[in-house]
Chain A
Amino acid sequence: GAVVSQHPSRVICKSGTSVKIECRSLDFQATTMFWYRQFPKQSLMLMATSNEGSKATYEQGVEKDKFLINHASLTLSTLTVTSAHPEDSSFYICSARVVGNTGELFFGEGSRLTVL
């Protein structure tokens, strides 16, 4: 299947700093990527839809100024958590779909963010 790579897999940062997470589609082009967040023992919650060459679409309740999304190319989307706080500690997962197939969503490996 298609491959989505996410980096870093784990990051620990101090409160108030910013963290960037990269999501790459390795063997296909993705005009759209999706960013999810998952708190312990909870399901995947869609944060935003990243659109290549245009602004991301954020879900209700997600602060666009805090979670900056950039989709500058057909293979790369980045999520930057700005001024991170302990409550932002979570598992962030990106995903993308290959146009024309069953619609299966391919996930990156996920990034575990811990804010101290």
Chain B
Amino acid sequence: GQNIDQPTEMTATEGAIVQINCTYQTSGFNGLFWYQQHAGEAPTFLSYNVLDGLEEKGRFSSFLSRSKGYSYLLLKELQMKDSASYLCAFDNQAGTALIFGKGTTLSVSS
């Protein structure tokens, strides 16, 4: 079957680093995505990993281990505007819809 799991909530302070973990199980795999979603808005794309390793993009980095069914999103130099829900999603077959986790609500405080 298919399953995707991530923590429900996390808190951090401005300037800190936070790592949001995601584990998944799927019979087919075509990539792991991270999206950011602010309340009441549509998700926006953050990152995509299809091969093992770390992808860095500015303050955000994403890591994937296919053998472990594990990914994480790393946010550095946190800002208040980073308070949002972070959604982990996988693609089990090219061209199909993404399957989303429940999302991790990150609260950044000063």
B102 close to A105 (CB less than 8 A): no
Q: Chain B: how many interface residues by the 8 Å CB criterion?
A: 25
B43, B91, B94: the one within 8 Å of A44 (CB): B43
CB of B48 closer than 8 Å to a CB of A: yes
The answer, among A36, A42, A104, for a CB contact under 8 Å with B48, is A104
Which residue of chain A has the shortest Cβ distance to B97 in the bound complex? A34
The answer to whether A110 touches B102 (Cβ under 8 A) is no
| Total contacts A-B at CB 8 Å | 57
DSSP class of A's interface residues: helix, strand, loop or mixed?
strand
Cα separation A106 to B102 with both chains bound (whole Å): 19
B95 in contact with A32 (CB, 8 Å): yes
CA distance A104 to B103 in the complex (A): 18
On chain A, the residues within 8 Å of B101 by CB distance are 43
Interface: A102 (CB within 8 A):
yes
Query: Known interface pairs A34-B97, A97-B95. Does A102 touch B31 (Cβ–Cβ under 8 Å)?
Result: yes
Known A103-B91, A108-B42: A43·B100 in contact at CB below 8 Å: yes
Q: Is A112 at the interface (CB under 8 A from chain B)?
A: yes
Residues in A lying within 8 Å of B, measured CB to CB: 1, 6, 32, 34, 36, 41-46, 49, 91, 93, 95, 97, 99, 102-110, 112
Can you list 7 A-B contacts (CB < 8 A)?
Answer: A44-B43, A46-B99, A49-B96, A97-B95, A102-B50, A105-B45, A110-B40
- B contact set with A: CB distance below 8 Å: 30-31, 33, 40-45, 48, 50, 87, 89, 91, 94-103, 105
